[in-house]
Amino acid sequence: MSPIHLAQLCLFSIGIYAFSLFTYLVFYYDLFSTLFLGEIQSEYDFIIVGSGTAGSLIGHRIAKETNYTFIVLEAGGRGHSFHDIPAFGPLLHQSVFDWNYETEPQENACFAMENSRCKQTQGKILGGSSKLNNMIHIRGNTSHYVEWFHGKYNKKYIEDQFKYIESNIFHLNNIKYDSNLGEAVLRAAKELNFKLLKHDFGIGFMKSIVTQNQGKRWTTSYNLETSKYVFTNVLVEKLLFIKNKCIGAQITTPKRMTLFAKKGVIISAGTFNSPKILQLSGIGPEKLLNSLNIPVVKSLPVGKNLQDHIGTGLDLVLFNNSQSIEMFDIMNLWNVFQYFFNGKGPLTTPGCEVIGFISTKNETSPNLQFMVLPVGISADRGSHLRKTLKIRDTVWNDYFSKIFDKYTATFLTLLLHPKSKGEVRIQSKNPTVPPLIDPKYLSHKDDLRTIVNGVHMIRKLIETESLKNIGAHLNNIPFPGCENFEMFSNLYLECYVKHLTLTSYHPVGTCAMGLPETKNSVVDTTFKVLGIDNLYVVDASVLPTLPSGNINAAIAMMANIFFENNFKEILNINKVDFCNKISFRDFLLNTCPVR
């Protein structure tokens, strides 16, 4: 490493360590504050587990449109307004506001990462993973959602749900900062006869639409009166049942408590933690539960059907001159001023300026998505980004560190509908132990072939006059482990993808929605857990297949459907004339006489 690059590494590291120290202080202040601020009641009408996109949306509508009592339980902390600076999003990866999960060692992927494990960033913070994502809003293919509900709702109804959340729930904006790269990519797409999309579904390219408000990250949790309805740093250990009815949850705050739900428990803890909670509570594969001596409440395929958008392309495209955002742009005091006073400038960057959709099969529905990011992980000289992916030292030294004298961009090539499926399962009865996550990336050969074809399309983009004119060229350093293959041949790219396997952090499917008579479903089309009363799952885990794009909008749409079409029915369940002087807990214990 040259003296200049070493100096840059030191400078960037100081800034990142300062941000990390600040983040720790925010976390522990909130953790300490929870001991004194507010008191959790013993019973509510509804308990919502998780404050992500779905949980916060449901909580907001309950508070706004009903008089029912509820509580939102969030395992993480509250964060700070500095954490809403879009450009700082990657700095929360692998922080105290991240669950810090990782996959099991992969047989066909993630070879460039330590122990062949891919990191699985998930938000452990008020707002959930929407506090750590790229803020991209994409509806995707609405016909897929009609299939999810098995025809219960038509395409127009689904579109109306999107229109509602886009008008009444979300804050949506065009990106506030355009680099040279974004415009050049759109021109290159036109050269290849791709359409410039006005809407986010179809074959073509478009500028990103983002969930931001005046340049700041925005999440559905901002609609909630959090001081009244949300309790942070609360770990749900397991759910409680009487026969086939969910009656509440056992939590740690840090003291252990039991909460009762009069009308329902809504699990919105995400694709990894929702199945974890269900399995810890006795709902899951019978063989798994028996192996851990967990009494079986209901045998269901909880944790199966795990799918994710994966791809490749880090630092694949190089430039001799800066075309986009550099680390010094983020640290520039004028740009800091622009952000805080005008909501503009490089600090508003979502990390993805342009998205594109293509089909490698010449079909009208895309099977690949491109996300054009203005930087690569070599931009910070190894001070943070490589650590969030756990890139092996040999790979870093022999590949990424050799392009410090270049300017990088990432053309992320993502597989939209993988055939490879994995699972999530608990490994202990201890609720603090992380679940085992085995996505079985690239276990189906078609997935590898499709991503390779996508990288070939990136090569065509780079060869257009629009990108050549700004000095774009491919990184021709042989990737470590793939040196024996002809550069950019199919065999080389297959090796490259297997090594540099990247997730876009869009896991779905572990509590899949479906018809009750099927063997693959965990919840029905009303989001109710099969065979269990008063228990619902509403988050990415219920999506039976992946949307054709980033998943945040689809999750919000599903949560809105849950409220609008099920909530009135849920509220009418178990209407019992409780004796006024006896608690709900006593009623559950059969000490309250029913008139």
What are the extents of the domains in the chain? 3-571
How many angstroms separate the Cα of 82 from the Cα of each of 5, 22, 340, 383?
Answer: 28, 10, 10, 20
What residues in the chain have per-residue pLDDT under 70? 1, 5, 8-9, 12, 36-38, 200, 323-329, 568-595
Read off the pTM: 0.93
CA neighbor of 96 nearest in space, from 116, 114, 75: 75
259, 43 contact by CB (below 8 A): yes
513, 541 contact by CB (below 8 A): no
What's residue 592's pLDDT? 45
User: For the chain, how big is the Rg over CA atoms in Å?
Assistant: 24
97, 83 contact by CB (below 8 A): yes
* Helix, strand, coil percentages in the chain from 3-state DSSP, rounded to 5: 35, 20, 45
Distance CA 26, CA 446 (A): 45
Distance CA 140, CA 137 (A): 9
Q: Which two tokens stand for residue 229?
A: 């309805």
CB crowding 277-293: b at 16 or more within 10 Å, else e: bbbbbbbbbeebbeeee
SS3 365: coil
Q: Which two tokens stand for residue 449?
A: 């072939």
SS3 134: coil
Q: Say whether 236 counts as a known binding-site residue.
A: yes
Q: Which amino acid is at 312?
A: T
Backbone angles phi, psi at 258, to 5 degrees: -120, 125
Length reported for the chain:
595
What's residue 238's pLDDT? 97
What's residue 424's pLDDT? 98
What's residue 575's pLDDT? 43
Give every CB contact of residue 192 below 8 A, 6+ residues apart in sequence.
460, 461, 464
In the CATH hierarchy, which fold is given to the domain comprising 3-571?
A: FAD/NAD(P)-binding domain (3.50.50)
Cα maximum dimension of the chain: 83
Pairing of strands 317-319, 473-474: antiparallel
How many angstroms separate the Cα of 554 from the Cα of each of 164, 166, 481?
Answer: 13, 12, 38
